[in-house]
Structure 1
Amino acid sequence: MHWIDPACLPETRGKVVLFLLNPHGDADGFILQHADGTQQQVHFPPHLGKLIARHIAPGDTVRIRGVKPRGADLIAAISLTSRQGIEIVDEGPRPHEHGPKHEHGHGHEHDGEPMDVQGEVVMPLYGPKGELRGALLEDGTSLRMPPHAAAELVAYLTPGAHVQAWGRGVRNRVGCTVDVHDIAELVDEEAGSEA
């Protein structure tokens, strides 16, 4: 979104809780905790992921200027300012960043490994235009899927749902994500007897 002047956008402050990864293992957002304890997804383009991870870490307080799509609790970041005052602005991808990185000949890091995860959904996750793209589990794992699949699976991506998901995943020092192929709701019989 290099055509938008970040100075004209409202500023949001908060603490980075954890980074979100796309299915290629690149950071493309984080969960921001506001002073009142509420949390919100912040999305940024993956071409900024390495730079952001170099200057911003979980626990850091940051300032964000971005746009909020209708119907989604999300900020699509145009600029981020680190705790040390370093401003990172989305100027759009550089020409070389469209190259081989996105082709399939790049090995295991893009294909992921088969994963089977389960847990409670704590929040839905959105794409930069507010389209539902998955959910965040309580352990920090993000489930990702195409918007058309997510639209049909809203019940599984709602906070409080207990789900099991299968797909190809990436786990690295930044976080864990699963590109979901199948998902099921867990009906936990033991939950009732433990209460």
Structure 2
Amino acid sequence: MHWIDPACLPETRGKVVLFLLNPHGDADGFILQHAGGTQQQVHFPPHLGKQIARHIAPGDSVRVRGVKPRGADLVAAVSLVTKQGVEIVDEGPPHREHGPKHEHGHRHEHGGEPMDVQGEVVMPLCGPKGELRGALLEDGTSLRMPPHAAAELVEYLTPGVHVQAWGQGVKNKSGCTVDVHDIAELIDEEAGLEV
């Protein structure tokens, strides 16, 4: 999005709650909490992840300028300003010589380790154009899947639904994400609910 002038975009302010990771373990967004307590997903391209991680940590106040896709509560960031006043602007991806995948360790190239997670969905997660791509669980784990799969599984990605998901996952100091292969709704046996 380097062709967009960030100064012409609306500004959103809030505190970073947690980072979101892509299946390679790179930060590609965060959850922003507004002054009123509402939360919103902020997406940024993975090539900004390391720079953002150097200057922004969970709990920090930030200002974000970006675009909001139709039908999604998301800001696709074009620029971010840290609490120290450092401005991070998306100037586009770096020039590729051998492709970005070579800088990752072998574990990330294979999509992480097998994981089995469960929890309550607190918000859907979207791609930069607003397409549904997964969900955030109450413990901060993000569930990721291709948009076509997410569209078919929307009932599992709705806030308040308790799910169990299996897939290849990556966990590091920035967060945890699972590239979902299978997902199921958990039914509370104590409530007497039947399938």
Name the TM-score, length of structure 1 as normaliser. Answer: 0.95
Query: 1:182 matched to which residue of 2?
Result: 182
Find the residue that maps to 1:150 and give its secondary structure.
helix
- Within 5 Å, which residues of 2 pair with 1:24-103? 24-96=24-96, 99-102=98-101
- Give 1:188 shift: 1.5
Distance 2:103 2:116 in 1: 23
Deviations 1:125-161 (A, max 9, x none): 0000000000000000000000000000000000000
Secondary structure of 2:174's counterpart equals coil
CA distance in 2, matches of 1:171, 1:123: 20
1:104 and 1:179, CA in 2 relative to 1: closer, same or farther beyond 3 A?
farther
Alignment correspondent of 2:143: 143
**2:49 match: secondary structure:** helix
* 1:162/1:186 contact within 8 Å kept: yes
Q: For 1:105 and 1:120, how far apart are their aligned partners in 2? A: 31
Q: Which shows bigger deviation, 182-191 or 154-163? A: 182-191
What value does the CA root-mean-square deviation take over the aligned residues?
Answer: 1.6
C-alpha displacement at 1:109, in angstroms?
2.2
Moved beyond 3 Å, runs of 4+: 103-106
Answer yes or no: is the 8 Å Cα contact 1:132–1:151 preserved in 2.
Answer: yes
Asked whether the equivalents of residues 16 and 57 of structure 2 are also in contact (C-alpha less than 8 Å), the reply is yes
Unaligned 5+ residue runs, structure 1? none
Q: How far apart, CA to CA, are the structure 2 residues paired with 1:186 and 1:44?
A: 32
Q: Deviations over 1:66-94 (max 9, x none)?
A: 00000000000000000100000000001
Structure 2 CA distance for partners of 1:191 and 1:140, relative to 1, 3 Å: farther
Task: For 1:102, give the aligned amino acid.
Answer: K
The structure with the largest helix share of the pair is 1
Q: Is the 8 A contact 2:133 2:150 kept in 1?
A: yes
Identity %: 81
Q: Show CA shifts across 1:97-122 (max 9, x none).
A: x7343269951023200000000000
Structure 2 unaligned runs (5+)?
none
Q: Give the 3-state SS of the residue equivalent to 1:102 in structure 2.
A: helix
Q: Report the Cα distance in structure 1 between the residues aligned to 2:120 and 2:192, rounded to whole angstroms.
A: 15
SS at match of 1:109: helix
